[in-house]
Amino acid sequence: MAKERVLITGAAGFLGSHLCDRFIKEGYDVIGMDNLITGSMDNIAHLMGKENFEFYHHDVSKYVHVSGDLKYILHFASPASPIDYLKIPIQTLKVGAHGTHNLLGLAKDKKARILVASTSEVYGDPLVHPQTEDYYGNVNPIGPRGVYDEAKRFMESITMAYHTYHQLETRIVRIFNTYGPRMRLNDGRVLPAFIGQALRGEDLTIFGDGSQTRSFCYVDDLVEGIYRLLLSDHSYPVNVGNPDEITISEFAEEIIKLTGTKQKVIYKDLPKDDPKKRQPDITKAKELLGWEPKVNRQEGLKITYEYFKSLDKEKLFQKEHKDFEKYIVK
């Protein structure tokens, strides 16, 4: 019998590549799709040539066609790093709007269940702590981060519209800070930034006074939560993340201890609209999915640090990920 097929967009990205691994492990045939603006073929090089994996180099903001049956679609195509989405703001909005619309249409045509990757950024700089799924958020739609926040908020809205109007089977995951192997050192997020600075012998840079908080979830835990949500019968957004909250100053001290860094910590101004607090309430995930994170931060950081240490010098000292100039709409 033919295997059931899954389409994963953003397949060459950090999360997308781990999802490809998981669905292949679960016995599915996986179609990976990515335009490689922020993704890297290195992340899926180990899958190329496998009979249960095929790759489409395509931008989902344009018309999406996949021949044959599809059981599931997982929409993970989007810049997710502030460095990226501030450089390609229009493309970020397009993949959240046009890309999601295209994939919902494909799911409707194929009678496939679709899971879309939303984010804790829909809560903006929250006035409620920890953040629950029924909190509507505190988002600046015209601020520099609005292109990502509002793209994801629109994604949720159109996904629910397809669910209610077309009775499409949809799932929405709100992803909180996640880390692990295959993250980019230069993607601007605090965990790879700290480890990259430590490995290069640079001072660790904290933006703001360091009192702002984050809650870090190891990638294997996140993938498990996503997998369970996809197979559940719940159509409304679900937070998936690790509620173990830590201040950025405390986190810098953990990285210093982990890496044996001798450099000092320096402080710079906090970027506009950067959230002061970030902690998921995962009550729904526990009740609906029987899910909670298993990997503690000490264990996950050790694995991630070993991965970053294994990178060659070119990647370690790479300042820019890609030449975004050719993707910029002028």
Catalytically active residues are 148
Q: Which residues are CB-neighbours of 291 under 8 A, at least 6 positions away?
A: 224, 225, 228, 240, 282, 285
Q: DSSP label at 2?
A: P
Q: Which residues are CB-neighbours of 245 under 8 A, at least 6 positions away?
A: 130, 213, 214, 215, 278, 279
**Token code pair at residue 329:** 């709409």
Q: Which residues are CB-neighbours of 143 under 8 A, at least 6 positions away?
A: 272, 273
**Element of type H or E holding 130:** none
φ/ψ of 124, rounded to 5, equals: 60, -140
Q: DSSP label at 141?
A: T
Amino acid 48 reads M
**Token code pair at residue 63:** 């018309």
Question: Helix count (H) and strand count (E) of the chain?
Answer: 11, 13
